[in-house]
């Protein structure tokens, strides 16, 4: 799965993000639509984790989408 595919079906995947990372706000999800790095930043900020850990979480989620 790549980010362009996620953007193409944003409604579906943004609800997946909300399920996966319940602390993300609607504003975070709007920002995340701009790209993977934005999502990583939102996850990092909301969960107070290091960037490399947030990147691993996001990459694992993207991979799990198929």
Q: Is 62 exposed, middle or buried (0-12, 13-18, 19+ CB in 10 A)?
A: middle
CATH superfamily of 3-65: YjbJ (1.10.1470.10)
Q: For 43-54, write each residue's pLDDT tens digit.
A: 999 999 999 999
Calculate what percentage of the chain has a pLDDT beyond 70. 100
pTM of the model: 0.93
How many other CB atoms are there within 10 angstroms of residue 58's CB atom? Answer: 22
Cβ-contact 7, 17 below 8 angstroms = no
Q: Is the pLDDT of residue 29 over 90?
A: yes
Q: What is the pLDDT of residue 6?
A: 94
């Amino acid at each position: 799965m790549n980010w362009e595919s996620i953007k193409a079906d944003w409604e579906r995947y943004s609800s997946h993000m909300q399920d996966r990372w319940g602390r993300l706000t609607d504003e975070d999800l709007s920002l995340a639509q701009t790209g993977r790095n934005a999502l990583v930043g939102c996850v990092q900020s909301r969960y107070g984790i290091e960037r490399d850990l947030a990147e691993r979480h996001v990459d694992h989620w993207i991979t799990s989408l198929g």
